[in-house]
Chains A and B, each alone.
Chain A
């Protein structure tokens, strides 16, 4: 294969901003500073598999998976309604789904904290109806809500895109051949939207499992996720070596799940990377 000369700036770019940083991360992960001296060691890695960290990892996996499933459960029907040709306001409502994506991530999350906090309107309303001793914030549910809210558009958009691309003629053909609307959905809509579902899952799951802001802000440090764990190593523990190790563990695991989801033959729908 002959590579075009135009590819070289790109290769340089990749080397500079992907390979070199990765090498640095790997370097940090494989070293430790003892008495101000740098030594090579694998201890960081064995520490990374300490049950306490594995537990956080499994929890992150579980929470990201749950958030993804909920996003799919909400996002698919939503995309289905928005993409319906009989639904004239679909495009407008899609904008409403997308607009929050333009807003700063932290801003959105703080807005939710405000809503869910003990003095927020939701609590006030609940208290008005006599519900006491309930906290909407700083628990696992709150983190899931935050994740779902933040990543729902990433689920809806690719599914919407794959649905809107389906030729309306195909529905008529299915009806013509005896399929009622349920069968038509099962045999035409669903299989043709699989690429959208796959990229939706990827685009939700990946950022969800790596996110740290949501769990820190809405979990209040009580529901730590892996991304937050890494952040803590860098910012609060100042242990760059162990932070780098945890990053690599996560990167490898994310890569594995990426390969797994990518392994479907439909290349449509657009991927995150």
Chain B
């Protein structure tokens, strides 16, 4: 318990009658890099804003080191935020932006100068003290925002999609740097993103959210290898999603065949969902395969080929492999028991389905 720095207990929040957070239970450990991951609109920002104090939960408790802080105003909380759109003070130069929090605390001039210099050094902006924010690139502004928050030595740093506006190369660089800073300073990071790859590379713990609810909490490896439901499997990485039944422990049935698997503890003939990662499927000769398929398309992706195949039942399979095959060829698919992940059925719509639903609603509103 002692290492739980922040705890959310049954946090609920709605805006104009629309539920945005639907009973969030979560604890965050000291020094952990925790990522809130989910499609746009799932409530990540709202959750972060509740932790920062810019929004208050309708119900539930927010604990900081065991103390309830629901009603503590933002300026008294020992957390700092890196805002998505930087929010640098346009009337102050880089030095004054970074020094803002220390000035508020009435720290001595010399001490402020020392700390600001050290922080700018750490984010790679030494010598930029006198520059105005608008004269900096997006990436540099982002660094100033990070320095401005970290110079206050917060217990927890909140980052709301801090890298979303950067180009790919810059983003990769900042991912590594943020991770380095977090380890160097030993601060808890709560990081928000809708980019699953970013979440997988940076986090100690990932919290996958959908429509205001937590779908799964786990390490990146857990989340990728053992997705709790079809939503998570679909959202994290690429996958073949199938419906099936659990015939008995270690044996499941889908696509018209029975497969040995590593899962147990389901009811007999319980309906389940199966996820098979494209890189876990082996393409073999038709007579050696468990499923016979026809190759529909093959695309070179840089490191691997993405091959789409169609089974006798019309099911489309996506396979990633380094060995090319001819379109139109008839091949077999072989699935190792550990390639098959069995999950309880959930009615959580997939992210793509949620987007479609949202688009439909919008059309209705307009029409």
| Genuine A/B complex | yes
**CB-CB nearest in chain B for A188:** B89
Q: Are B75 and A172 in contact (CB under 8 A)?
A: no
Q: Are A176 and B81 in contact (CB under 8 A)?
A: yes
Contacting A176 at CB < 8 Å: which of B52, B88, B90, B105?
B52
B5-21 CB contact bits vs A (8 Å, 1 = yes)?
A: 00000000000000000
Complex CA gap A175/B85 in Å reads 16
**CB-CB nearest in chain A for B104:** A178
Contacting A169 at CB < 8 Å: which of B52, B87, B100, B105?
B87
Q: Are B74 and A183 in contact (CB under 8 A)?
A: no
Give chain B interface residues in 72-119, CB to chain A under 8 Å.
73-75, 79-81, 83, 85, 87-91, 100-101, 103-105
Shortest CB distance B146–A (Å): 13
Q: Are A169 and B104 in contact (CB under 8 A)?
A: no
Give chain A interface residues in 187-243, CB to chain B under 8 Å.
187-188, 191-192
A170 interfacial by beta-carbon distance below 8 Å: yes
Q: Are A177 and B101 in contact (CB under 8 A)?
A: yes
B297 interfacial by beta-carbon distance below 8 Å: no
Q: Are B100 and A191 in contact (CB under 8 A)?
A: no
B300 interfacial by beta-carbon distance below 8 Å: no
Assess A173 versus B87: contact at CB under 8 Å? Given A178-B104, A178-B105: yes
Having A172-B83, A175-B74, A183-B104, one finds 10 other A-B pairs with CB under 8 Å, namely A169-B85, A170-B89, A170-B90, A172-B54, A173-B89, A176-B52, A176-B79, A176-B80, A177-B149, A192-B90
B70 interfacial by beta-carbon distance below 8 Å: no
B152 interfacial by beta-carbon distance below 8 Å: yes
Q: Are A180 and B75 in contact (CB under 8 A)?
A: yes
B148 interfacial by beta-carbon distance below 8 Å: yes
Residues of B within 8 A of A176 (CB): 52, 54, 74-75, 79-81, 149
Contacting B87 at CB < 8 Å: which of A172, A178, A180, A192?
A172
Residues of B within 8 A of A183 (CB): 104
List of 6 A-B pairs having minimum Cβ-Cβ separation, nearest first: A177-B101, A169-B87, A175-B74, A173-B87, A178-B104, A176-B81
Residues of B within 8 A of A169 (CB): 83, 85, 87
**CB-CB nearest in chain B for A173:** B87
Q: Are B83 and A177 in contact (CB under 8 A)?
A: no
How many residues on the A side are at the interface (Cβ–Cβ under 8 A)? 17
Residues of B within 8 A of A188 (CB): 89
Taking Cβ atoms with an 8 Å cutoff, the residues of B that contact A are 52-54, 73-75, 79-81, 83, 85, 87-91, 100-101, 103-105, 148-149, 152
Q: Are A170 and B87 in contact (CB under 8 A)?
A: yes
Residues of A within 8 A of B53 (CB): 175
Provide a sorted-by-A list of 22 A–B residue pairs whose CB atoms are within 8 angstroms. A167-B87, A172-B54, A172-B81, A172-B83, A173-B89, A175-B53, A175-B54, A175-B75, A176-B75, A176-B81, A177-B75, A177-B100, A177-B101, A178-B75, A178-B105, A180-B73, A180-B75, A187-B100, A187-B103, A187-B104, A188-B89, A192-B90
Residues of A within 8 A of B52 (CB): 172, 176
Residues of B within 8 A of A170 (CB): 87, 89-90
Contacting B100 at CB < 8 Å: which of A167, A172, A174, A180?
A174
Taking Cβ atoms with an 8 Å cutoff, the residues of A that contact B are 167, 169-170, 172-180, 183, 187-188, 191-192
Q: Which of A172, A191, A192 has the most CB of B within 10 A?
A: A172
Shortest CB distance B98–A (Å): 10
Contacting B101 at CB < 8 Å: which of A172, A178, A180, A192?
A178
Shortest CB distance B83–A (Å): 6
**CB-CB nearest in chain B for A180:** B75
Residues of A within 8 A of B90 (CB): 170, 192
Residues of A within 8 A of B54 (CB): 172, 175-176
Shortest CB distance A25–B (Å): 41
**CB-CB nearest in chain B for A167:** B87
**CB-CB nearest in chain B for A177:** B101
Complex CA gap A170/B100 in Å reads 12
Residues of B within 8 A of A191 (CB): 91
Contacting B104 at CB < 8 Å: which of A167, A172, A179?
A179
**CB-CB nearest in chain B for A190:** B91
Residues of A within 8 A of B81 (CB): 172-173, 176
